Chains A and B, each alone.
Chain A
């Protein structure tokens, strides 16, 4: 039991660090949006904000779960809310990082709203849905890297690939529980890659 609690605490520490990095990306994307007026940067900022909110929600919810009498209801709510927030964030990433070759068109708001609403209708098998959307995000990141060959695009690609790996591992936890912490480690590495990108991009020429 002590070992399990230790793993959970380490997992929460990883989650807090990842959440802070997600907030830093949110701040940077908002700053870039204010300077340039590019709507897609605002969407990116929203995506990372939703992601960090889900992470901190999970940390707080799990602490609540550990500190009080274990409750399947609370744990279930925390797990579903966490999964849904991540899927919403990945859908926003799919939209904001999609490749375009001309001036961005107005989004079909009704369509996007329905897509986001649909995430509330799924059951706890959320990892598979997250993997689906993250595969699209990774493919877009690959296309972007192939086009720009920039080291900044490379860090983002590595970050999203590691997030994808983390979800694939998480989906296997049922058959191999040891993958749980590895999954959290992969997620942390993914966010650290984004942190390196932020640092490199923020440096003076």
Chain B
């Protein structure tokens, strides 16, 4: 019997993408790395990357280049810190976010 994949909210998916970007440090993370780390389809990846850029949570390192790489902005780092706090709080009460 296959195990059901746990439900991930949109906010968690965005946080997973941002974690993947953060894990690459100053070098930034490319779409493939983010796609695999956050376990996303290509369509979803493109949609969410656009959303993160629009909200200024991440930025493209060199928009002119063919090899796209993304970095967290200061706003993105603060969002991720806040998300981790809320994640711990929710986990304490057994609530999935």
Identify the A interface with B (CB < 8 A). Answer: 28-29, 31-32, 35-38, 40-41, 44, 96-97, 99-104, 140-141, 143-144, 147-148, 150, 152-153, 155-156, 197-198, 200-202, 204-205
Q: Evaluate whether A201 and B88 lie within 8 angstroms (CB atoms) in the complex, with A44-B95, A96-B95, A97-B95 already known.
A: yes
The answer on a CB contact under 8 Å between B84 and A205 is yes
Chain B 1-44 interface mask (CB, 8 Å, partner A; 1/0): 00010110101100000000000000000000000000000000
B96 at interface by CB-CB < 8 Å: yes
| Interface positions of B from 42 to 97, Cβ below 8 Å from A | 81-86, 88-97
Q: Evaluate whether A32 and B97 lie within 8 angstroms (CB atoms) in the complex, with A103-B7, A204-B81 already known.
A: yes
A148 to chain B minimum Cβ distance, whole angstroms, is: 6
Identify the B interface with A (CB < 8 A). Answer: 4, 6-7, 9, 11-12, 81-86, 88-97
Most A CB within 10 A of own CB, among B6, B83, B85, B93: B93
How far is it, in angstroms, between the C-alpha of A28 and the C-alpha of B88 when the chains are bound?
11
Q: Is the interface of B mostly helix, strand, loop or mixed?
A: helix
Instruction: Compute the total of residue contacts between A and B using a CB distance below 8 Å.
Output: 78
Q: Evaluate whether A41 and B94 lie within 8 angstroms (CB atoms) in the complex, with A32-B89, A152-B89 already known.
A: no
The residue in chain A whose Cβ has the minimal distance to the Cβ of B7 is A103
How far is it, in angstroms, between the C-alpha of A153 and the C-alpha of B81 when the chains are bound?
19
Sample (29) of A-B pairs whose CB atoms are under 8 Å apart: A28-B89, A32-B86, A36-B12, A36-B90, A36-B97, A37-B11, A38-B9, A38-B96, A41-B97, A97-B93, A97-B94, A100-B96, A101-B4, A102-B4, A102-B7, A104-B7, A141-B94, A143-B94, A148-B94, A150-B92, A152-B89, A152-B91, A152-B92, A153-B92, A153-B93, A200-B88, A201-B85, A201-B89, A205-B81
The answer on a CB contact under 8 Å between A197 and B92 is yes
How far is it, in angstroms, between the C-alpha of A147 and the C-alpha of B7 when the chains are bound?
16
The residue in chain B whose Cβ has the minimal distance to the Cβ of A140 is B94
How far is it, in angstroms, between the C-alpha of A204 and the C-alpha of B96 when the chains are bound?
21
Q: Evaluate whether A35 and B83 lie within 8 angstroms (CB atoms) in the complex, with A101-B4, A102-B7, A201-B88 already known.
A: yes
A76 to chain B minimum Cβ distance, whole angstroms, is: 34
A106 to chain B minimum Cβ distance, whole angstroms, is: 14
A156 contacts across to B, CB distance below 8 A: 92-93
